[in-house]
């Protein structure tokens, strides 16, 4: 069986052979973009290159980028544990052309890597193109030889949740262009329809690789002006690809995750390794550890609050499995076993990460039990919707982020009155302001801060250097 580590390496080897410079992963906290919460795709560190304000010393690059989709525009937190293919933290394999090669080479190389190097059966692969992109159609049909029924034209999703969208744009203006995406058919024993069909959100056809062709510069008036030097930006989910290459359906069944799930089972005394909570814990330890490595600490605002929300979700899953003692920080060791070779910064900061997680575990342990009792009482008396005031009480007094409450509710077929929650929050802010107090919910709790060494944010350059050593 091909391990996830081997797949990472083979991807980079393939594109190195095609003249690409191997670039290390940037941190999860974007260095060059304060408007973006987290690095959510490989292109983030190249944004200024696409915009033309930065010139790297190469025109072709490839990398393995750590990504987080747990806040902001991309948020897959609520999918984790419900689909076979979504994580909060994942690794994105990418290859780039900065004004060099374009559609023909990008598609030919993607196909070569998948079907010749990795020997995927071509009949299992289906692709989508943008509805008007006849150039991409011709390449897939005439050069590659795909039959027309496996080249699906997709439009803009117009905001429909989950629907495919094959036109990419960086912002309302600026670089943009059509995509072509490659899907793997896991077989008709799994529910889900072809991309673009009404039941495309199933897990039968899983999207593995997105190739974006930046060929236009959108003007403020909406018109599309061709870019003088079109670019290619691709992203392939390592975990989804590993599932395909290891002959399993779900991401949680790959080597890397099997190890984490088994350890989560051990630390929570859970024998059934298919238990959904173990998968959530395995997912969340990656997100939380890498966030801390990249300089984020649990807090009540911004990035720190996203981290706190993810940690607390993991702890609640442990609690459901009957584990009332701190366990989550113990997951750092198996994580290092699984990923320490590719990310040495994880090993270097092990103790720091463990301490930060343990501090948050101890803190939430003080209110988790009582909060769960309150939730049960509220659920028993309130029918299908948890009232906003109760969700707010859970937040304010018991430290339950509202998305955690919503997640618990969802498991029981209930929902939370979010508008009511927002109202209760606004009321409290108003009261605090009127009495001249500041809501104390915006700073890192003193006792937690005291337990932690100062944030040691490894500079971008240092991570680059360290990454280069690993990849060399």
Cα–Cα distance, 392 to 117 (Å, whole number): 54
For the bound state, the minimum distance from the C-beta of residue 165 to ligand ATP, rounded and expressed in Å, comes to: 8
Listed in sequence order, the residues at least 6 apart from 278 whose beta carbon sits closer than 8 Å to its beta carbon are: 261, 264, 265, 268, 270, 317, 321
Residue 12: count other Cβ atoms within 10 Å of its Cβ. 19
**Residues 6+ away with beta carbon under 8 Å from 174:** 51, 217, 218
Q: Tell the smallest beta-carbon distance from residue 182 to ligand ATP (Å).
A: 8
Alpha-carbon dihedral 281, 81, 91, 89, rounded to 10 degrees: -50
Q: Give whichever of 76 and 417 is closer to ligand ATP, judged by the CB atom.
A: 76
The interface region with Mg ion, picked from 200-208, 238-246, 337-345, 459-467 by CB under 5 A, is 200-208
Establish if 311 lies at the interface with ligand ATP (CB under 6 A): no
Which residue's entry shows tokens 């061709």?
226
- Interface size with ligand ATP, residues (CB under 6 A): 17
Question: Does residue 125 belong to the site contacting ligand ATP (CB under 6 A)?
Answer: no
Question: Does 234 interact with Mg ion (rule: CB under 5 A)?
Answer: no
Interaction partner, residue 334 (Mg ion, ligand ATP, none; CB < 5-8 Å by kind) = none
Q: Which one of Mg ion, ligand ATP, none is in contact with 86 (Cβ closer than 5 to 8 A by kind)?
A: ligand ATP
Contact 185, 208 (CB under 8 A): no
The interface partner of residue 364, options being Mg ion, ligand ATP, none and the CB cut-off 5 to 8 Å by kind, is none
- Of the candidates 210, 234, 277, 289, which one interacts with Mg ion according to CB under 5 A? 210
408 scored as a contact of ligand ATP (CB under 6 A): no
| Closer residue to ligand ATP, CB minimum distance, 66 or 349 | 66
Q: What is the rounded CA–CA span in Å between residue 169 and residue 119?
A: 32
Q: Among residues 166 and 268, whose Cβ is nearest to Mg ion?
A: 166
- What residues from 228 to 247 belong to the interface with ligand ATP (CB under 6 A)? 235-237, 239-240
Residue 283, contacted partner among Mg ion, ligand ATP, none, CB below 5-8 A by kind: none
Chain positions 47 to 86 lying near ligand ATP, rule: CB under 6 A, are: 69, 76, 85-86
236: partner contacted, choices ligand ATP, Mg ion, none (Cβ within 5-8 A by kind): ligand ATP
For 70, the 3-state DSSP assignment is strand
Which among 257, 294, 306, 256 is positioned nearest to 279, based on CA atoms?
A: 257
Residue 217 tokens read as: 């510069």
Residue 120: closest CA among 186, 28, 199: 186
3-class SS of residue 21: strand
For tokens 């051990």, the residue is 266
Tell me if 352 sits within 8 A of 458, measured CB to CB.
no
Annotate each residue in 17-46 with x if it binds Mg ion (CB under 5 A) or - if it does not, as one string: ------------------------------
Stretch near ligand ATP under the rule CB under 6 A, chosen from 49-57, 87-95, 131-139, 414-422: 87-95
Q: List contacts with Mg ion (CB under 5 A).
A: 207, 210
């Amino acid at each position: 069986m091909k391990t996830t580590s081997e797949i990472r390496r083979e991807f980079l080897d393939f594109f190195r052979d095609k003249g690409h410079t191997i670039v290390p992963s940037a941190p999860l906290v974007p260095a060059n973009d304060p408007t973006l919460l987290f690095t959510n795709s490989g292109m983030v560190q190249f944004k200024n290159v696409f915009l033309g304000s930065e010139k790297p010393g190469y025109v072709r690059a490839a990398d393995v980028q750590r990504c987080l989709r747990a806040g902001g525009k991309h948020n897959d937190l609520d999918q984790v544990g419900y689909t076979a293919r979504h994580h909060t933290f994942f690794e994105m394999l990418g290859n780039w052309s900065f004004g060099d090669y374009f559609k023909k080479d990008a598609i030919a190389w993607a196909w070569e890597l998948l079907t010749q190097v990795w020997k995927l059966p071509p009949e299992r692969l289906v692709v989508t193109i943008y509805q008007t992109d006849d150039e991409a159609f011709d390449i897939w049909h005439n050069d590659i030889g795909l039959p027309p029924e496996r080249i699906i034209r997709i439009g803009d999703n117009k905001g429909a949740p989950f629907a495919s969208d094959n036109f990419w744009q960086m912002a309302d203006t600026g670089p943009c262009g059509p995509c072509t995406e490659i899907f793997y058919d896991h077989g008709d024993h799994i529910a889900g329809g072809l991309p673009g069909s009404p039941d495309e959100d199933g897990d039968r056809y899983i999207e593995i690789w997105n190739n974006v062709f930046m060929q236009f510069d959108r003007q403020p008036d909406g018109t599309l002006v061709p870019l003088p030097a079109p670019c290619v930006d691709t992203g392939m989910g390592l975990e989804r690809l590993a599932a395909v290459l290891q002959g399993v359906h779900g991401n949680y069944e790959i080597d890397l995750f099997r190890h984490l799930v088994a350890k989560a089972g051990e630390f929570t005394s859970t024998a059934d390794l298919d238990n959904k909570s173990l998968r959530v814990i395995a997912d969340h330890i990656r997100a939380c550890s890498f966030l801390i490595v990249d300089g984020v600490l649990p807090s009540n605002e911004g990035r720190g609050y996203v981290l706190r929300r993810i940690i607390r979700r993991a702890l609640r899953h442990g609690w459901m499995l009957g584990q009332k003692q701190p366990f989550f920080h113990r997951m750092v060791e198996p994580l290092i076993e699984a990923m320490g070779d590719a990310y040495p910064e994880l090993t270097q900061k092990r103790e720091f990460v463990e301490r930060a997680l343990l501090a948050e575990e101890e803190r939430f342990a003080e209110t988790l039990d009582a909060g769960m009792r309150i939730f049960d009482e509220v659920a028993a008396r309130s029918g299908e919707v948890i009232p906003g005031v109760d969700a707010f009480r859970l937040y304010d007094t018991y430290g339950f982020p509202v998305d955690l409450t919503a997640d618990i509710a969802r498991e029981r077929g209930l929902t939370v009155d979010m508008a009511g929650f927002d109202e209760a929050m606004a009321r409290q802010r108003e009261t605090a302001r009127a009495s001249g107090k500041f809501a104390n919910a915006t700073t890192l709790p003193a006792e937690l801060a005291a337990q932690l060494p100062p944030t040691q944010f490894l500079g971008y350059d240092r991570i680059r250097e360290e990454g280069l050593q690993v990849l060399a």
